[in-house]
Amino acid sequence: MATTAPSRRAAPSTLTRWLPAAATIVGVAVLMYLVYDPWYLNYDARYALLWAQDLWHGYTPEYTADYAPTPHPLQMAVGSIALPFGVHADSVMAGMVLLCFGALVWLVFRLGTELFGTWAGVLAAIVVLTRPAIERDAVLAYQDLPFEALIVGAALLEARRPKRGTAVLVVLAVAGLLRPEAWVLSFLYVGWLWYGSGAPLSQVARWAALAAAAPLIWFASDWAVTGDALHSLHGTAQLAESNDRRRSVTQVPYWGAAYLAFTLREPLILGVPIGIAFAWMFRRRQGLLLVAIVAAMLAVFAVGPVFGLPLIGRYVRTPAILLALFYGAAVFGWRLLPQGSAQRRRWLWVGAFALLLSIAFLPKQISMLHSQQQRFSRDAHLYRDLRSTAQSPAVLAAYRTCGPLSTADHRPIPYFRYWADGAPGTVGTVRGHASPLGQVFLEPRRTKYAKAFYKVNFPKAKAPKRYRPIYQNRSYRVLASPSCLAQLPR
C-alpha cells in the first residue's frame, strides 16, 4: 500500500501562525531594552535572586531579613535560572520579564480580537504597551507582569471555549505561584465548571486539586523555610505596618479607583464605561467574562486589609488591563454591527469621540514616558554606585572582617548582600531598630541622585561620630568603627 508523503506546507503554515506572536513578544522586549536599558531590578525581584543564590550556596533563604518582602515561589525559581549567567543575572532576569511583557501585549491583542474584533484587540494592546505604570513594572522586573500575562492567557482560553476546564486551571495554578489572587480565581472557576455540568465528583475533585496546588506549594515553601506555613501573609502584613502603608478597609473605594485611574490614565477613564455599555448591549456574554474576572480580583483587593494586607497600585494592574479591552470595544465596537444600520452609524461617532480622547492626550502621554525614562536613568546611577560600593576591596575587607554591616535604611540590603556575595544575616538595618548597629555602616550621601531617589524619605540614621570613612563615591559612603579599623590590614 502506498503511503502519502507528508505535506511540505505544514511547517510553513505553523511558522506563519506563530511568527506574529514571536515577533511581538521579542519586539516589545527589545524595544523596552533599547529605551530603558534595565538591569538593576526592583526590591522584590532582587530578593528573589538573592534567595535563589542562598539556596545554591547551601543556605536557608533569609525570608525573615529586616523588611524582607513577600517571597514568591515561581519568581525565586526563575532567579535560579538567571544565576548561572553570573554578573549578567540581573539583565537575564529583567529580560525574561520583558519577554513576559511582550507576551502580555500579544495576549491582550488576541483576547480583544476574540471578544470585540481585531481592531479592538489592536487598540487594547497599544494601550497596554504605552501605559507608564505597566511599563514601569515591566522594566523593574516585577512579578506582576508574568502574572498578568498568565491571567489574560487563561481568560483567552476560556473565551475561545467556555468551560474549557483543565487547561485554564493549569494556567491559573502557575499564576498562583506569583500572586494569591489566582487562588480565588481558580476556586471560583471550579465552581463555574461544576455549575450545571453534571460532572462526576471524581472530575470535580481533580479540578479542585489543580486549584489547590498553588496555595499548597506556597504554604509548603513558607513552612520549609520559616516553620510558618502562613509566613507570606504574616510577613506582608508586618511589612505593611512597618512601612506605614495604606491598609484600611475604608480606604478601599478611593484608592481602588485612584489606582485604576493611575494605570489607565485620562482617556480610558471616560472610554471604558462607554465600552462596557457597548458590551452590555451587543456582546454581553463576552463582556461578562471580563467583568467577572475584574470583580473577583477587585474583591480580593478590597478584602486584603481585613488580613492586614496593604493597598498597593500593582494589585489592581490586572483588572486595569482587562478594563482596557472595553476601551477597544468603545472605539471599534461599531465594526461588529450590521452595515448600513443606524446603530452602526451612532456607535461610529461614539468610537470616534473615544479615540479623540486618546489623541488629545498624546502630548502628555509622551511627556510622561520621557519623564519615566529619565527617572530610570537617574536611578541607574544610584544602583551602579551601590554596586561599586559593595564590590570595593576596602568595603569587602571590612565587611568580611567586621560584619555584619548596617545600613541607614532597608533598601540597600538585598543589593549589597547579593553583590558582595554575603551570607544570610550579614547585612541589616538600624531603621526602626530592626537590627543592632554593626561595626561597618553604609549610608547614602545627600547628592542629587540619592535625594531624588529617596524624595522626602531620606534616611535619618547616621553612623556614630567615632566611625571613620573607608570608602565613598557619588552616592554612598561606608564607615567603620575604631575596633574594626584596628583589625584591617594597613
pLDDT at 2: 47
pLDDT computed for residue 12 by the predictor: 63
pLDDT at 457: 84
CA dihedral 6, 7, 11, 17 (to 10 degrees): -130
The three cell numbers of residue 258 are 485612584
How many angstroms separate the CA atoms of 36 and 373, rounded?
6
* pLDDT band per the 50, 70, 90 thresholds, residue 58: very high
* Rounded CA separation 350/243 (Å): 45
Residue 7 has pLDDT above 90, yes or no: no
User: Whole-angstrom Cα distance, residue 96 to residue 80?
Assistant: 13
Phi, psi angles (nearest 5°) of residue 475: -120, -20
* Mean pLDDT to the nearest integer, 253-277: 93
**Is the pLDDT at 9 greater than 80, yes or no?**
no
Query: What strand order describes the sheet that includes 440-444?
Result: 427-429, 405-407, 440-444, 476-480, 468-472
Q: How far is CA 463 from CA 35, 112, 410, 449, 459, in A?
A: 38, 56, 15, 21, 12
Instruction: State the average pLDDT over residues 226-235.
Output: 95
Looking at 83-195, list the stretches that DSSP marks H as alpha helix, in order from N- to C-terminal side. 89-116, 118-130, 132-139, 144-160, 166-175, 181-194
pLDDT, tens digit (0-9, with 9 covering 90-100), for 354-387: 999 899 999 999 999 999 999 999 999 999 999 9
- Where do the domains of the chain lie? 19-336, 384-487
Per-residue confidence band for 1, with pLDDT thresholds at 50, 70 and 90: very low
Q: What is the mean pLDDT of residues 103-121?
A: 97
* Most confidently predicted of 7-16, 265-274, 277-286: 277-286
Mean pLDDT along residues 130-144: 96
Tell me the C-alpha distance between 409 and 415, whole Å: 12
Confidence bin at 321 (pLDDT 50/70/90)? very high
Predicted TM-score (pTM) of the model is 0.94
Q: Please, which residues have CB within 8 angstroms of residue 140's CB and are 6 or more apart in sequence?
A: 38, 41, 42, 45
Is the pLDDT at 14 greater than 80, yes or no? no
What percentage of residues in the chain have a pLDDT greater than 90? 86
DSSP-derived 3-state class of residue 134:
helix
| Cβ partners under 8 Å of residue 115, min gap 6 | 159, 283, 286, 287, 289, 290, 325, 329
| 4 pLDDT higher than 60 | no
pLDDT of residue 143: 96
Statement: residue 6 has pLDDT above 70: no
Task: Judge whether residue 101 has pLDDT over 70.
Answer: yes
Question: In sequence order, what DSSP letters do the residues of 417-438 get, joined into one string?
Answer: HHHTTPPTTSEEE-GGG-S---
- Range of weakest confidence among 84-88, 195-199, 379-383: 195-199
Find out whether 43 and 69 touch, Cβ atoms under 8 Å.
Answer: yes
Query: 88-97, 357-366, 445-454: which has the minimum mean pLDDT?
Result: 445-454
Distance of CA 79 to the CA centre of its chain: 14
Calculate mean pLDDT across residues 201-221: 96
Please say whether the beta carbons of 450 and 462 come within 8 A.
no
Q: What is the pLDDT of residues 179-191, one digit of tens each?
A: 999 999 999 999 9
Residues with Cβ within 8 Å of residue 22, at least 6 apart in sequence: none
- Tell me how far apart the alpha carbons of residues 301 and 313 are, in angstroms, rounded to a whole number: 10
User: Which pLDDT value is given to residue 15?
Assistant: 72
Contacting residues for 81 by C-beta, under 8 A, at least 6 apart: 92, 96
Is residue 222 within 8 Å of residue 228, measured between CB atoms? yes
Q: Which of the residue ranges 207-211, 264-268, 335-339 would you say has the lowest mean pLDDT?
A: 264-268
431: nearest Cα among 455, 453, 451, 457: 457
Give the pairing of strands 405-407 and 427-429. Answer: parallel
Strand spans (E) along 327-438: 405-407, 427-429
